[in-house]
Structure 1
Amino acid sequence: MAGGERAAHLMRQLASAACRCPAHSQAYSHTYNRVSTGEVHMCERKTDYAFEMACSNIRYGAGVTREIGMDLQNMGARNVCLMTDRTLSQLPPVGVVLDSLTKHGVKYKIYEDVRVEPTDKSFKAAIDFAKQGHFDVYVAVGGGSVIDTCKAANLYASHPEAEFLDFVNAPIGKGKPITATLKPLIAVPTTAGTGSETTGVAIFDFENLKAKTGIANRALKPTLGMVDPLHTLHMPSRVAANSGFDVLCHALESFTALPYYLRSPCPSNPINRPAYQGSNPISDVWARHALKIVAKYLKRAVRDAGDVEARSSMHLASVFAGIGFGNAGVHLCHGMSYPIAGNVKTHRAKGYNVEHPIVPHGLSVVLTSPAVFAFTANMCPERHLEAAQILGTDVSSIKKDDAGRVLADTLRSFLYDLEVEDGLSSIGYTKEDIPSLVKGTIPQERVTKLSPRAHTEEDLTALFAASMKLY
Structure 2
Amino acid sequence: MNLRTKALNLLLELSAGPCKCPAHSSANFFPVSSQLSSNEKEYAFEIISPTVRFGPGVTKEVGLDVLNLNLKNVCVITDSNISKLAPLKVTLDSLAKHQVKFEVYDQVRIEPNEESFKQAARFAIGSNFDGFIAVGGGSVIDTAKAANLYSSYPHADFLDFVNSPLGKGKTIDKPLKPLIAIPTTSGSGSETTAAAIFDYTPKKAKTGIQGRYLRPILGLIDPEHVLSLPERVSAYSGFDVFCHALESFTTLPYTERTPRPSNPSQRPTYQGRNPVSDVWAQFALSTLNKYFERSVFHSDDKKARYNMHLAASMAGVGFGNAGVHLCHALAYPIAGMAKNFNPEGYNKDHPIIPHGLSVVVTAPTVFEFTSPACPERHLRAAELLGANVLNAKKDDAGLILSDVIRTYMQKLKIENGIGALGYTEDDVPRLVEGTLPQVSL
TM-score between the two structures when normalised by the length of structure 1: 0.84
2:173 to 162, 172, 179: 179
The answer to whether the aligner puts 1:76 opposite 2:70 as a matched pair is yes
Q: Matches of 1:272 and 1:173 in 2, distance apart?
A: 21
Question: What one-letter code is carried by the residue in structure 1 that aligns with 2:186?
Answer: A
1:196 to 183, 190, 214: 190
Question: What one-letter code is carried by the residue in structure 1 that aligns with 2:187?
Answer: G
Q: Matches of 1:209 and 1:250 in 2, distance apart?
A: 26
RMSD between aligned alpha carbons? 1.6
2:155 to 130, 141, 161: 161
Partner of 2:306: 312
Secondary structure (helix, strand or coil) at the match of 1:133 reads coil
Could you tell me how far 1:399 is from its partner in structure 2?
1.1
1:240 to 229, 234, 239: 234
Secondary structure (helix, strand or coil) at the match of 2:190 reads coil
Could you tell me whether the CA contact under 8 Å between 1:244 and 1:298 is conserved in 2?
Answer: yes
Q: Matches of 2:40 and 2:227 in 1, distance apart?
A: 48
Q: Matches of 2:165 and 2:264 in 1, distance apart?
A: 20
More relative contact order, 1 or 2 (CA 8 Å, 6+ apart): 2
The answer to whether the aligner puts 1:249 opposite 2:243 as a matched pair is yes
Percent identity of paired positions between Structure 1 and Structure 2: 57
Could you tell me whether the CA contact under 8 Å between 1:83 and 1:112 is conserved in 2?
Answer: yes
Partner of 1:358: 352
Partner of 1:291: 285
The answer to whether the aligner puts 1:389 opposite 2:383 as a matched pair is yes
Partner of 1:102: 96
Could you tell me how far 1:131 is from its partner in structure 2?
1.4
Secondary structure (helix, strand or coil) at the match of 2:332 reads helix
Q: Matches of 1:318 and 1:422 in 2, distance apart?
A: 24
Secondary structure (helix, strand or coil) at the match of 2:180 reads strand
Partner of 1:215: 209
2:128 to 131, 134, 143: 134
Could you tell me whether the CA contact under 8 Å between 1:56 and 1:225 is conserved in 2?
Answer: yes
Could you tell me how far 1:226 is from its partner in structure 2?
0.3
The answer to whether the aligner puts 1:123 opposite 2:117 as a matched pair is yes
Could you tell me how far 1:216 is from its partner in structure 2?
2.1
Secondary structure (helix, strand or coil) at the match of 2:206 reads strand
Could you tell me how far 1:171 is from its partner in structure 2?
2.6
Secondary structure (helix, strand or coil) at the match of 1:226 reads strand
Could you report, residue by residue, the CA deviation over 1:144-191 in whole angstroms, capped at 9, with x for unpaired residues?
000001011111211223222222223322222221111110000000
Q: Matches of 2:80 and 2:335 in 1, distance apart?
A: 21
Partner of 2:21: none
Q: Matches of 2:431 and 2:294 in 1, distance apart?
A: 33
Q: Matches of 2:122 and 2:259 in 1, distance apart?
A: 35
Partner of 1:373: 367
Q: 1:426 to 1:22 in 2, by over 3 A?
A: closer
Mean CA deviation greater in 141-150 or 96-105? 96-105
Q: Matches of 2:266 and 2:314 in 1, distance apart?
A: 25
Give the count of matched residue pairs: 410
The answer to whether the aligner puts 1:413 opposite 2:435 as a matched pair is no
Could you tell me whether the CA contact under 8 Å between 2:112 and 2:139 is conserved in 1?
Answer: yes
Q: Matches of 2:60 and 2:348 in 1, distance apart?
A: 28
Mean CA deviation greater in 147-156 or 175-184? 175-184
Partner of 1:93: 87
Mean CA deviation greater in 119-128 or 172-181? 172-181
Partner of 1:455: none
Question: What one-letter code is carried by the residue in structure 1 that aligns with 2:72?
Answer: R
Could you report, residue by residue, the CA deviation over 1:338-397 in whole angstroms, capped at 9, with x for unpaired residues?
111111111101111341111000000000000100010000100001001111111112
1:422 to 393, 416, 423: 416
Secondary structure (helix, strand or coil) at the match of 2:203 reads coil
Q: Matches of 1:307 and 1:49 in 2, distance apart?
A: 44
Partner of 1:402: 396
Could you report, residue by residue, the CA deviation over 1:12-46 in whole angstroms, capped at 9, with x for unpaired residues?
xxxxxxxxx969xx9xxxxxxxxxxxxxxx74334
Partner of 1:327: 321
Could you tell me how far 1:398 is from its partner in structure 2?
1.4
Question: What one-letter code is carried by the residue in structure 2 that aligns with 1:257?
Answer: T
Could you tell me whether the CA contact under 8 Å between 1:177 and 1:272 is conserved in 2?
Answer: no
Question: What one-letter code is carried by the residue in structure 2 that aligns with 1:230?
Answer: E
1:276 to 251, 258, 270: 270
Question: What one-letter code is carried by the residue in structure 2 that aligns with 1:294?
Answer: L
Mean CA deviation greater in 350-359 or 378-387? 350-359
Could you tell me whether the CA contact under 8 Å between 1:80 and 1:107 is conserved in 2?
Answer: yes
Could you tell me how far 1:317 is from its partner in structure 2?
0.2
Structure 2 gaps, min length 5: 1-6, 13-35
Could you report, residue by residue, the CA deviation over 1:93-146 in whole angstroms, capped at 9, with x for unpaired residues?
001111111111110111111100000111111111111212101000000000
Q: Kindly name which structure, 1 or 2, has the bigger radius of gyration based on alpha carbons.
A: 1
Q: Matches of 2:52 and 2:194 in 1, distance apart?
A: 14
Q: Matches of 2:37 and 2:360 in 1, distance apart?
A: 38
Q: Matches of 1:201 and 1:266 in 2, distance apart?
A: 23
Question: What one-letter code is carried by the residue in structure 1 that aligns with 2:421?
Answer: I
Question: What one-letter code is carried by the residue in structure 2 that aligns with 1:203?
Answer: I
1:438 to 432, 436, 441: 432
Could you tell me whether the CA contact under 8 Å between 1:87 and 1:353 is conserved in 2?
Answer: no
Mean CA deviation greater in 186-195 or 213-222? 213-222
Could you tell me how far 1:271 is from its partner in structure 2?
4.2
Partner of 1:459: none
Secondary structure (helix, strand or coil) at the match of 1:44 reads coil
Question: What one-letter code is carried by the residue in structure 1 that aligns with 2:136?
Answer: G
Could you tell me whether the CA contact under 8 Å between 2:37 and 2:259 is conserved in 1?
Answer: no
Question: What one-letter code is carried by the residue in structure 2 that aligns with 1:137?
Answer: G
Secondary structure (helix, strand or coil) at the match of 1:234 reads coil
Secondary structure (helix, strand or coil) at the match of 2:177 reads coil
Structure 1 gaps, min length 5: 1-20, 27-41, 451-471
Partner of 2:18: none
Q: Matches of 1:47 and 1:159 in 2, distance apart?
A: 35
